[in-house]
Structures are given as C-alpha cells and as structure tokens.
C-alpha cells in the first residue's frame, strides 16, 4: 500500500503545481495547520483503499473531507499535503530536519520536545512536533525498518546506522520512563578537514604539524573526550595522515570513519537482535583484525573488554594504531583504560597492566566541547613510562582557559610546554622531520 500511496502523492504534487514549503512562519494560522495535519494523519494512515475506488481518488477524497469547511489558500493546502507526504513517503515531522545540512544532531525527547544542534549549540525547534508517543514510535519503526531492525516492548532499544550514514539511537518504554526518545547524529557529506579545525580554532598549526608527524611516525594514539566533543571527527582526520600504501582496518559499532586511502577495510559490529543472529562485538572484530594482516588498526571507540586486545595489537607490531575513549581528560583516560583491561577477565596485576599500557600508548589527545559550543584540543600528552608505580604523563601542548568574553565565548590560549618530547626521537627515527623545528629550542 505504501508504494501506491507514494505514487498517488507524486501525482497530487504535480497536479497542485505549487511550491512546497515547510516553514510555519509564513502562515498566519499555524495552529490550524497543525490541527489539520493531525486530523488527516489519524484518518488516513491505517485505512485500506476501497476496491471500487482508485488510490489517487481515495487520497484526494480523504484530504478534501479533512479540510472541508476551512478557507485555505492553495499554498496552505500544498503545505498540508507536503506534511502528509512526509508521513507516507518520508520520516514524519523530522523529514526536513534530516535534510538540513546545517543540523548536526536531532533529539526527540517527546511529542512537543524536539531539539537540534547547529554550530555546537543545542536549541529547541518550536516548528516541529509529533501528535503523540505512538506517532514517535511509528516514525522510529519507519526509520529502522530498512535496516532490518525492529523496536517493541521486547526489544525496546536500537542503535544503528541509517542508509545515509547517520547514527540513530532510539529507546522506548519500559526502558525510557518518559516515553520514546530518538537521537540522530547526522552524517556529513564531507568530513571536517584539518584546515577547518585550524580555521575555527580547535588547534594551532604547530599542534596540527605535530599530530601529523605522530601519525606518519607510527605512534600509537588514543583520543579522549566527552560525548559530542568531536573524538570521531578528530580520529578521522588523524587517519587521513596515514600513507596510502598501508593496509588499514577500521572497527566501529556504526561505521562513521571515512578514510580515502586505497587499502581500507571497514568492519562493523552486529547486535544480538539483528536478524536473530549471534552478537559480534568490537572485541571479536579486533581479534579477527589481527588475522587480516593489518598495518594499522583503528578502533572507533574502546569501551570494554576489547581494550586489552587493542593494547595487545599495539604491543605486537601494529604501530600507528589509534582509538578513542570516553573520558574527561588524559589522566582519566588512562585510568579508564586500566579498568577496561580488568574487565577482560584476565587475572593480571595492576602493575603489569600499567606497564602494558605505558608500552602500548605513545600519545593521548584530549578534545572538549567548550561552554560556548566550540571544540578545542585541550591537551596533547606523551606517555613516558612508569614512575612510582603510576603511568607518567607529560603534557606537550595544552589549552589554558582564562575565562569568558562578554559574548560568552571561551577566552584562552594554547601553550607549548617546556622540554623536547621523548616521542620526537621515535618519530625522527622513522624519517619524519616536519615538526622537528617546533622543538628546536627545547631541551
């Protein structure tokens, strides 16, 4: 039925021959349009087409009956038509939000609570709404059905990737007490480049050159930060510095990395509920990747038992591997890494775990989303080894915040710390010297 409905709406669109708009602000009676939208959706969405009536006539008849008695302009009718078309053909009220390239995140907390992120700032979108919780759940089902996924009381949570690459997370009762919730991280047509990060002040040219040399010099790098801080974006940029001749294997829950080298193998986990098959975890994929003759392994995010296998890869000849980790700073990242190794179930003394980490990780990079919505690399530190039974970190670059401007923007400066990094010798030994002059006066 849905395919025929789509065809019918295409016919109706051509017949009206109007410019279809989705901007409430141009209509004086926005409340009326919302009432009509709700009425038509409730009337048409579950109906069967009578056998003695053409589908096109049926659609037009339902729309005409719903707006009978209302004095609407052709443009208003077209607007209502477009909203109904989004219900049948698209993704309901959030169809236009998904198309808007300026929006990076969509958060549906309830029928009247839709938030979007633009330029790092989260705002409430008053122009978009759902009818009720059932309407939200129906939209979730429409979004995930092409992925072979379902959501119901038995499977009340889904985390997957849409056909355009956007990441969707949805959770419904009984897990979500308030009601169904949708979070969509939009897929960008073009990943942010290092030039773009320099332009917006995420880091300095010195820091960019140093990180480039760290990647080319095959240092093992861990990127850490909070939710939405830009870890994956930074990891993708760092991956772009890898030589084109190397064999790269990326491992993620939902494939977001987009490397442009010729020899890239992308692996993606499989949840236990998908196609009623067995779950395939990041740990499974890391173990399998070691058998695929990788030059580099890039794990989208370390969250648990796979941490030990990742460290093992870094310690056994896969130099230049990278991963991200959710943490509130470089020191916290190493502490969390210790905990994750303990989660692997291996009975290893904490001292041995710390030595293992110190031997595996060369550089830890922390990125933060500041209070003004802008993202900054706040710390690039090197792992020196073990001192007094603790992993020793030494900062190389750091962002020092001094306060806020009158406009609420973060005020601060990037600092290059004293001392030549120990990792510089390792980088130079591989013939990479682009950033050597940065530290020429350091001892």
* pLDDT band, very low/low/confident/very high, at 419 (cuts 50, 70, 90): confident
CB-based burial, 1-20: b 16+ in 10 Å, e otherwise: eeeebeebbeebeeeeebee
Cα 364 from Cα 332, distance rounded (Å) = 11
pLDDT digits (tens, 9 = 90+) for 207-227: 999 999 999 999 999 999 998
| Confidence check: pLDDT of 25 > 80 | no
In the prediction, which pLDDT does 147 show? 81
pTM of the model: 0.75
User: Which has the minimum average pLDDT: 3-7, 151-155, 429-433?
Assistant: 3-7
Q: Label residue 390 by pLDDT band (50, 70, 90).
A: very high
Higher pLDDT, 23 or 337: 337
What single string gives the DSSP state of each residue in 134-201?
HHHHHHHHHHHGGGT---SSSS-EEEEE-TTS-EEEEE-TTTSSSS-EEEEEPPPSSPPPHHHHHHTT
pLDDT at 28 over 90: no
User: Is the pLDDT assigned to residue 276 strictly greater than 90?
Assistant: no
Q: Domain 194-439 adopts which CATH fold?
A: Rossmann fold (3.40.50)
| Percentage of the chain lying above the pLDDT 90 cut | 48
- Tell me which residue has tokens 């705002």: 123
Residue 54 CA to residue 194 CA, distance in Å, equals 56
Q: What is the pLDDT of residues 375-388, one digit of tens each?
A: 999 999 999 999 99
What percent of the chain is predicted at pLDDT more than 70? 79
Are 402 and 412 spatial neighbours (Cβ–Cβ below 8 Å)? yes
Quick check: 94 pLDDT over 80?
yes
- Tracing tokens 């109007």 back to the chain, one arrives at 18
User: How much is the pLDDT for 428?
Assistant: 94
Q: Identify the band that residue 17 occupies on the pLDDT scale cut at 50, 70 and 90.
A: very low
User: Taking residues 242-255, what's their average pLDDT?
Assistant: 91
pLDDT at residue number 109? 96
Assigned CATH topology for domain 91-189: Beta-Lactamase (3.30.450)
Q: How far is CA 114 from the centre of its chain?
A: 18
Q: Has residue 110 got a pLDDT over 90?
A: yes
How much is the average pLDDT of 23-46? 60
pLDDT one-digit tens code per residue, 125-169: 988 888 889 889 988 988 988 887 889 888 899 888 888 888 899
Asked if 217 contacts 434 with a C-beta cutoff of 8 angstroms, the reply is no
Residue, of 304 and 85, whose pLDDT is higher: 304
Q: What does the pLDDT look like over 256-267, one tens digit per residue?
A: 888 999 999 999
pLDDT beyond 60 at 314: yes
- Least confident stretch, 88-92, 210-214, 418-422: 88-92
Distance CA 342, CA 349 (A): 9
Q: Which of 111, 95, 1, 10 is nearest to 46 (CA)?
A: 1
Cα 344 to the chain's mean position, in Å?
Answer: 26
* pLDDT value, residue 249: 95
Q: Which of the residue ranges 77-81, 359-363, 430-434 would you say has the lowest mean pLDDT?
A: 77-81
Tell me what pLDDT residue 23 has: 44
The half-sphere exposure of 40 on its side-chain side, counting CA atoms within 13 A, is: 29
pLDDT band at 188 (very low <50, low <70, confident <90, very high): confident
pLDDT at 12: 44
| Residue extents of the structural domains in the chain | 1-89, 91-189, 194-439
């Amino acid at each position: 039925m849905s395919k025929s409905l789509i065809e019918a709406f295409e016919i109706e669109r051509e017949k009206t021959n109007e410019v279809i708009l989705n901007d409430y602000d141009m209509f004086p009676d926005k409340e009326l349009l919302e009432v009509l939208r709700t009425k038509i959706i409730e009337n048409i969405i579950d109906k069967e087409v009578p056998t003695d009536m053409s589908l096109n006539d049926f659609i037009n008849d339902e729309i005409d009956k719903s707006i009978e008695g209302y004095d609407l302009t052709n443009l208003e009718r077209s607007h209502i038509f477009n909203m109904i078309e989004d219900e049948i053909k698209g993704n309901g009220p959030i169809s236009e939000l998904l198309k808007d390239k300026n929006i990076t995140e969509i958060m549906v907390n309830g029928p009247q609570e839709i938030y979007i992120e633009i330029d790092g700032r989260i705002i409430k979108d008053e122009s978009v709404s759902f009818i009720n919780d059932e309407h939200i759940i129906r939209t979730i089902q429409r979004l995930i059905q092409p992925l072979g996924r379902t959501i119901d009381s038995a499977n009340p949570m889904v985390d997957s990737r849409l056909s355009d690459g956007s990441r969707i997370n949805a959770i419904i009762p009984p897990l979500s007490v308030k009601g169904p919730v949708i979070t969509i991280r939009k897929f960008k047509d073009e990943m942010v480049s290092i030039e773009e990060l320099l332009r917006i002040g995420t880091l300095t040219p010195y820091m960019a050159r140093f990180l480039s040399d760290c990647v080319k010099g095959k240092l093992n790098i861990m990127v850490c930060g909070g939710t939405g801080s830009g870890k994956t974006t930074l990891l993708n940029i760092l991956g772009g510095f890898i030589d084109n001749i190397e064999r790269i294997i990326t491992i993620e829950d939902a494939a977001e990395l987009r490397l442009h080298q010729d020899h890239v193998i992308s692996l993606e986990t499989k949840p236990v509920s998908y196609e009623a098959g067995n779950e395939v975890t990041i740990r499974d994929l890391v173990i399998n990747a070691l058998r695929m003759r990788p030059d580099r392994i890039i794990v989208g995010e370390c969250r648990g038992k796979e941490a030990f296998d990742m460290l093992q890869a870094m310690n056994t000849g896969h130099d230049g591997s990278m991963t991200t980790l959710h943490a509130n700073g470089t020191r916290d990242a190493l502490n969390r890494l210790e905990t994750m190794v303990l989660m692997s179930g291996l009975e290893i003394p904490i001292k041995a775990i710390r030595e293992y980490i110190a031997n595996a990780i060369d550089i830890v990079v922390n990125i933060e989303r500041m209070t003004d919505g802008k993202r900054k690399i706040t710390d690039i530190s090197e792992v020196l080894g073990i001192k007094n039974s603790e992993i020793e970190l030494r900062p190389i670059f750091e962002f020092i915040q001094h306060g806020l401007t009158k406009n609420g923007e973060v005020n601060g400066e990037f600092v290059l710390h004293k001392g030549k990094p120990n990792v510089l010798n390792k980088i130079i030994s591989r013939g990479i010297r682009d950033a050597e002059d940065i530290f020429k006066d350091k001892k």
